[in-house]
Structures are given as structure tokens and as C-alpha cells.
Structure 1
Amino acid sequence: MASLIKSQIIKNLARYTKNLSADNVNLSLFKGEGEFLNLQLDENVLHSVLHMPQWLRIEKVTCNRVSWKIPWTKLKTEAIAIKFDAIYVEISAIGPNDKPNSSVQLANTTSTKYGFIDKVIDSICFSINSVDIKFGSPGFQALLHASRIQLRSTNPLWQVADLRSTRIVHDKSDQVIFFKEVLLSAIKLEASVTAGCEDKPTPLRLITSHSSLKITVKKRISDSGIICGKLELVLDDILWVLSEKQLKASVAFVKSVVDIMRQSHEHTRNTTKDDKQTTGSTNSEKNPMKYDLETPYAQSPVNMSDKPIDRLFWRYNVLETSFHIVTSRIDFHFCGGLQSRRDSSTMQVLLDRLSLDYYPEHIAGATRQHWQKHDNISLSRSTWSHQLLTSFFDNNPHLNGYKKFLFEGALLMR
């Protein structure tokens, strides 16, 4: 029986790896334990699974040990635990003329109703001992090291609880919301610019500690499809000392990334334009996103019942995808040249409780009252932006049918 299950595991996971075989798989069926040793993942499949942009190419992904434990008799209340020892990743930024990762057609999964298996999968918890990501391009090299990473299921208050309390199932709206939290003990970033500077600058170094990523995901019950989500990165105090050379290097670092992204975007746009001219078709009529234009972001029904599940669902409901960064304190120290004490100078910049909110696909002209920290400034902005939008459609009446397909991206800094 164990050998049969092992062969099925290898059969289903072989497409994601390069060296998976019976020799590097250990399995104890009745204990619900097992491990993989010295895995090397397939870069092309991983690139397709993660939907990474074409200007990033995965060169190598390895993991020395993966172990898991399945509580067969307590799957309703306890999560499957998967532990990774050390993960090593190499990623490179490429230009439009470089060869990207090969596109892999993933197997289509049949849409099924959200059930017990989906609950078990959504509740899986991960722990990673260390992750090293090497990032390179013609203009710079970077190394990101993260240690002691944990992904766990929580209740809406971000507390570890019984798995049945980590999701809100609302049959009336055909939606389910579940909550995950990622804990990061330490992150170290080191970047070196190799081009764009006259002399070789001191590497950029940034170290953070005690960070967390709060994730809220909303799915449909009928087909288990993801509707939207919310990601919030909470950072602890950050102290960053930058010399004049390091500041110039950071500018060159950002410029190098922006240039690569711009070149890749232009290349993709030109390629897409050529494909459309060849096929003579567009995807404008195939947009799967459907919205009620009158109330696209309804926060709660007017005649909401007094049932506890209804109140709980609408209290923590996520209406659109958003990304947030919250910091308690960022302390920058900029230091001048040290050739002469008389000429050297320093400057300190302190940012207290800085927050960034990004809404990538907000329906143009729709309400923003459900946004975090919505205030009177946002209300005044909505007035004149709605006037501009109305004027645009009045001057272009042939576009009135595309109102529900007009989106805007918003980045807020507070």
C-alpha cells in the first residue's frame, strides 16, 4: 500500500520537479508523515504557476528537505503541516531579446463546489527555516535572505484558533472568506550595483525583523474560484544608514529595474499588437469580470438579517483586491563623504506610521467608502474625479457601453 501511494505521489508531482524519484521520497503512511530530499524544481513550470512577468526568468530552485505531517483523524480541526529546511532560488532580470522561461500549459482543473478537500488545502500551514534568493541583471546583483518563516491559518482577529474558526462560510452570498498570516523573523537584503556608477559603491544593506503578512482571501462556494483578496505587510521599526555612494547606488538600482520593466512592457505590447493583427480578434469582449455598475462595491445589504453569521461576514468582507504596507517607524540616516570632516554632513529623516495602500483594479467612478482610512480628503477627490469621468463619457457617447470595463489603479500614501 505504501509503495502504491508513493508511486502516485511521484506521478502527480513529477511535472513540478526535475529529479523526483522513489530514492528521495520517504513515506510513513499510518503516521501521516513523509519527506522529500534534495529536490530541484522545474523552472518553467514554476514560472507558469506563479504567473511571473516575462522580464523575470527563474534560473534555479532547489530545496534540500521537505517534510510533512497529516493528522488523519483531526483534519477538521488541525492543519496539515509542511516544513521546508533550506530553499535556494536564482532569478535574473532579462531584456526583450533574451530568452524567457518556456511557457508551460497547465492542466485545467474542473470547477467544483467548495468542499472538504478545499478546506483542507486552504488550511495547510508552512514553515521555512531559511530562504535565499539571488537576483541578478546586467546592472545590479541582489541577495535576499529570510529566516524562520511561518504560514498559518488564523481567525479574523489574527489569532491561532480551531480551523473551523479560520473561515467564514456565507451560503446566502455564495462566498467564503478565510484568513492566513505569514510571520517573518528576519529579512536581510544586500544589493550591489555593477553598472551606472563611476566607481564601485558600497553594497546596499537593509535588515528588518519581526514582520508579518496578513492575507484575506474570498472565494465562491459554487466553483471554488477566487474572487478577490487583501494583503497587508506589517513591518517593525527600520533603521537604514546610507552614505552618499549608497544613495547613488540605490537610485541606479531602481533605474535599472524600471528600465527592464519598461523594455519588457513595450516588447510585450508590440507582440500582442502583432498577434491581434494576425488573428483579427480582440479580448475586450472576453473579459470574465462582471460587476453591477450601480452598486459594484455594496458593503452590506439594506435588509440584512440579524443572524450572527451575516453580521460576521459583512464585517470582514473583502470587496476588491488590495495591497497594503504598514510601518511603525522608519529612520533614515544619510551621510556625506568622509574625505574631510569639515565637508562631511549628515541628515536624518524619520517616518512615523507610514502606510501605503494600493488598489490595482478599482472600477472608475465607483465608491471608495470601503477603503481603509477613508476620509474627507478621499470624498473631495471622488467629487471632481466623478465629474471628469462623466464629462469623458459625455464627449464619447460611443464608449458608454464600456463603463464597467474601465478600471483605475490607486496608490495612497499616508
Structure 2
Amino acid sequence: MAGIIKKQILKHLSRFTKNLSPDKINLSTLKGEGQLSNLELDEEVLQNMLDLPTWLAVTRVYCNKAAIRIQWTKLKTSPICLFLDKVEVEMRTCEEPRPPNGPSPIAITAGQSEYGFAEKVVEGMSVRINSIIIKVQARAFHASFELWQLQGNSLNPKWQHSDLRYTRVTDPKRGEVLTFKEINWQSLRIEADAIESDDQDLSSTPLRLITNQGRIRIALKRRIKDCNVLASKLLFILDDLLWVLTDSQLKAIIHYAKSLSEAMEKSAQQRKSMAAESLQVRPSQNIKFTTADCFILYFDHYDVKESSYHTFISRLDLHVCNDSSSMDEDEPPPVGLQGAMQLTFRKLGFDYYPIHRPGEPFTFTTAFSPQDYFSSVLPLILNPQVSTRGRQNKKTQSLLSCNRKTLQLPDGVPAVHLQFTEYYFSDNPSLSGRWS
């Protein structure tokens, strides 16, 4: 029996690599430890697992050294530990949308089988990465993302470390299971630089941003019978963030965004054309709850009803100033051409819902708490301060601000709330009357 379980688990793990069969993984049956080196990971599998947009493609994934530890006697309660030293990921943007993402790697490996014991063990795996660098090649620029001391763990619905059995919430009547994961890191460095070409003349210094600790929380809802993901929620959380930009760097950001807009729009059109199947109105489930069905109510409380993406920043201080590198330091700048502006955002949040099924209530709320993953908000608090050269000693005053205490605003009400909704019709005529 132990040999069968070992074979199933190794089959799942080998699915993430290229040309590596389960029999080539040297894993001690007694100690549950093994090591591998110079691994080429399967970019398509990782692309499907991350559910990347179709305007972005993974071209190469490499790991120099990997180690694995499995506690065979505690598979139900303790996760498999995977240790990676250095991971390199290469991506590119697609001028034309690539084919849509395939099914979950777990579903493929399982042969569309039920979400069983081996699937639970592999999905609950804990990952440690010393450093990971992600390089992105675009038409107008190239960028890199470097993360240090990255960890990925399965948590319980309250985002706490616990027994592996409590990191899943199952509803047998619906045939669905919820899982909760958190990825955190110690430091993140982002760089972007323009690509020199005849089509663009953008002489700017490279963009650089270094952040402290951050984390991503992910909630997944799978179908038990075939392991496929039905819906997911992703929350990107950053603590206090300070970013100093020159006006030329700000122009570069706008230029980079414009260069991606066409590819992103084509990808959005592709998603809309395929939305008919995913937007089918689901039959109402008239489930009668009894006192013995408390676990069903527990599932309903944490249920991921639709896919969405969220970002939350506790505090963002943005300083924008003139690029003085091209000016003569011995001569004063022309009047009105030199200055700086400071923008302070507190509890800044963004929420994105790609597809909302017709006929169902919208789950968006305006009460956010980083501890409560299923609440989200879009507050926008501006505190811009403008100063000019030669007036450093003069105290600056707020140009625009919000005094929540004076206005007696409740904690759950943002100072500014902006919401944009795009309505579109799918190719299915039966859905046309349901949109408003």
C-alpha cells in the first residue's frame, strides 16, 4: 500500500518537470528525503497552474537545485516540503493571444479522477525558495522581478497554520472542495527599462522599486469528481510602500502601459468570446440545511462564488519630482519648471471581477480587512503636497485630503470609491435578456 501511495505522489511531482519520470526521482522510502539538480520545469504546466492571462506566456523555467522531504507516517496532517535554491523564469508578451490555459495540472495527472488522497497530499505541499527571478520581454521594454525567501503554505480558512486536514473545506452535496494558500516573501525588487529601437525615442533612467515583506492569498474551489478549478480568489497584500519617481520615469510607465494595452485588449476580447459556456446560469441548489449540516453552512460562509483578483496596500507614499540630471547645477532652473509632488494613499485597494454570471447577486462589498479575505474595498485617499526648489524650509500644506474623524466616516466606508463596470453580450441568445 505504501508503495502505491509513493508512486502516485511521485507521479504528481514529476508532472511539473520535463523528461523526468517518477522512477528517476531518487527518494528514500524510509527517510522520505531526496535531491535533484539542474531541473527544467514544464512551462505549460506552470502556466496553467498560475492561470496566466493569454497575453502573457511562460517560455522557460529552470531550477539549479531542489530537495524534497516527505513524512510518510504523517501524510494526512503534515505537508510535503519542497526546497528550491534558485529559480529562473522567462516570460514574453504575446501580440496575438495564445491558446487559453488548459486544465489544472492535478486534474491532468489524476487522469480526470476524483479528488482523492494523493491529490490532497500534493496540493497541500509546502514550498520554500531562496530566490526567484522572473524576466519579462515585451515589445517596448524588458522587466525583471526578483523575490527572496519565498514561502508557499496551505492554511486554514482563517489564514492560520494548522493541521493539513483543516486546510480544506468540503461539501459532499455540492461535490466541491475549498483550499486556501498563502505565498509570502521577504523582499521584492522590480526593474523595467526601455528597449532601444527606431520606433521609439525614450531616454529615461530604468524604473526601480524595492518593497519589503508582501504576501498573496489564494482561495480555490475545485470540483471533486475531476479536480478542475471552478473559481478562485487572489489577494495581493503589500505593507507601507515608498516610491520616488522622476517625471521622465512617470512618462515611461505610461508608455509601457500603452504598449501593452493592445495585447491586453485582444486577450480580453478572446475571453469574452469564450464566456458563453462559463456564463451559463447555474441551476439553483435548493439545499435544506439541518442541525447536522453545520459543515455545509461553514462551506457556504467561505465559498468562492466567482473568480476575482484584489490588491491592498496599507500605505503608499508616491513622490514625483523633476529630472534634474539634465540641468546645470550651477544655474537655477527656470521659474515654474522645477518642483515636486507627494501623494499619500492609505488603505488603497483594487478589485477586479473578470466575469459575473447573469441573474446572480454581486458579491462586492465595501468593507475591507486584511484578515478577512472575502471582504474587499476600493478606498482612495489623496494627500498631495506640492513644493518647489528653493522653498525646502517652508512647511508644505495638503492640496487635497480627507479628515475621516471630522466627517465621522465609519471604518468600512472609503473616502473615495471608484467603480467601472463593462457589460457585454455573449454569443448565446438565451443570455441576452438577462443583461441590463
Structure 2-normalised TM-score? 0.71
CA positional deviation for 1:232? 1.1
CA positional deviation for 1:93? 2.4
CA positional deviation for 1:149? 1.0
Question: 2:26 touches 2:35 (CA, 8 Å); kept in 1?
Answer: yes
Which deviations, in whole Å up to 9, do the C-alpha atoms of 1:291-342 show, x marking residues without a partner? 346x59x9xx675536542332222222111111111011110002322455
56 and 177 in structure 1: CA distance in 2 versus 1, 3 angstrom threshold: closer
- Name the structure 2 match of 1:56: 56
- Name the structure 1 match of 2:323: 337
- Matches of 1:42 and 1:237, distance apart in 2: 35
Structure 1 residue runs of 5 or longer lacking an equivalent are 273-282, 378-384, 409-414
CA positional deviation for 1:17? 4.5
Q: Which amino acid aligns with 2:348?
A: L
Q: Which amino acid aligns with 1:36?
A: L
- Name the structure 2 match of 1:228: 231
Q: How does 1:31-50 map to 2 (within 5 A)?
A: 31-43=31-43, 47=47
- Give the secondary structure class of the aligned counterpart of 1:215: strand
- Name the structure 2 match of 1:113: 114
Higher helix proportion: 1
Structure 2 residue runs of 5 or longer lacking an equivalent are 368-375, 378-411, 414-420
Alignment match of 1:361 (pick from 355, 361, 366):
355
Question: 1:142 touches 1:190 (CA, 8 Å); kept in 2?
Answer: yes
- Name the structure 2 match of 1:319: 305
Question: 1:63 touches 1:87 (CA, 8 Å); kept in 2?
Answer: yes
- Matches of 2:428 and 2:7, distance apart in 1: 56
Q: How does 1:199-278 map to 2 (within 5 A)?
A: 199-262=202-265
CA positional deviation for 1:120? 1.0
- Matches of 1:162 and 1:207, distance apart in 2: 34
- Matches of 2:280 and 2:135, distance apart in 1: 40
20 and 176 in structure 1: CA distance in 2 versus 1, 3 angstrom threshold: closer
CA positional deviation for 1:243? 0.2
- Give the secondary structure class of the aligned counterpart of 2:258: helix
Say how many residue pairs are matched. Answer: 372
Which deviations, in whole Å up to 9, do the C-alpha atoms of 1:203-252 show, x marking residues without a partner? 11111221111111122334433221211111111111100111111111
Moved more, 326-335 or 354-363: 354-363
205 and 177 in structure 1: CA distance in 2 versus 1, 3 angstrom threshold: same
- Matches of 2:167 and 2:156, distance apart in 1: 4
Moved more, 365-374 or 195-204: 365-374
Q: Which amino acid aligns with 2:128?
A: S
- Give the secondary structure class of the aligned counterpart of 1:323: strand
Q: Which amino acid aligns with 1:221?
A: I
Q: How does 1:15-414 map to 2 (within 5 A)?
A: 17=17, 20=20, 26-43=26-43, 47=47, 52-53=52-53, 55-96=55-96, 109-195=110-196, 198-262=201-265, 287=277, 290-292=280-282, 303=289, 305=291, 307-338=293-324, 339=327, 340-341=332-333, 343-369=337-363, 371=365, 373=367, 401-403=430-432
Higher strand proportion: 1
- Matches of 1:9 and 1:115, distance apart in 2: 11
- Give the secondary structure class of the aligned counterpart of 2:180: strand
Which deviations, in whole Å up to 9, do the C-alpha atoms of 1:358-403 show, x marking residues without a partner? 11111235312564648999xxxxxxx9xx99xx99xxxx976225
CA positional deviation for 1:133? 1.1
Q: Which amino acid aligns with 1:184?
A: W
291 and 162 in structure 1: CA distance in 2 versus 1, 3 angstrom threshold: same
CA positional deviation for 1:104? 9.7
Question: 1:133 touches 1:144 (CA, 8 Å); kept in 2?
Answer: yes
- Give the secondary structure class of the aligned counterpart of 2:430: helix
Which deviations, in whole Å up to 9, do the C-alpha atoms of 1:71-130 show, x marking residues without a partner? 100011100111111011222224349xx79x9999685333332222212211111111
CA positional deviation for 1:18? 5.0
- Sequence identity of aligned pairs in percent? 34
- Give the secondary structure class of the aligned counterpart of 1:328: strand
- Matches of 1:14 and 1:164, distance apart in 2: 24
Question: 2:178 touches 2:303 (CA, 8 Å); kept in 1?
Answer: yes
- Matches of 2:26 and 2:109, distance apart in 1: 29
292 and 371 in structure 1: CA distance in 2 versus 1, 3 angstrom threshold: farther
Which deviations, in whole Å up to 9, do the C-alpha atoms of 1:11-39 show, x marking residues without a partner? 98777645658999543232111121011
Q: Which amino acid aligns with 2:360?
A: A
- Name the structure 2 match of 1:275: none
- Matches of 1:224 and 1:12, distance apart in 2: 13
Q: Which amino acid aligns with 2:314?
A: S
Question: 2:281 touches 2:358 (CA, 8 Å); kept in 1?
Answer: no
CA positional deviation for 1:40? 2.1
Which deviations, in whole Å up to 9, do the C-alpha atoms of 1:132-191 show, x marking residues without a partner? 111122311111101111111111111101112211222233222221111121111000
Q: Which amino acid aligns with 2:431?
A: Y
Question: 1:131 touches 1:146 (CA, 8 Å); kept in 2?
Answer: yes
Question: 2:9 touches 2:118 (CA, 8 Å); kept in 1?
Answer: no
- Matches of 1:6 and 1:265, distance apart in 2: 42
Question: 2:220 touches 2:229 (CA, 8 Å); kept in 1?
Answer: yes
Question: 1:6 touches 1:27 (CA, 8 Å); kept in 2?
Answer: no
- Matches of 1:369 and 1:288, distance apart in 2: 18
- Name the structure 2 match of 1:280: none
Structure 1-normalised TM-score? 0.74
Moved more, 187-196 or 65-74: 187-196
332 and 302 in structure 1: CA distance in 2 versus 1, 3 angstrom threshold: farther
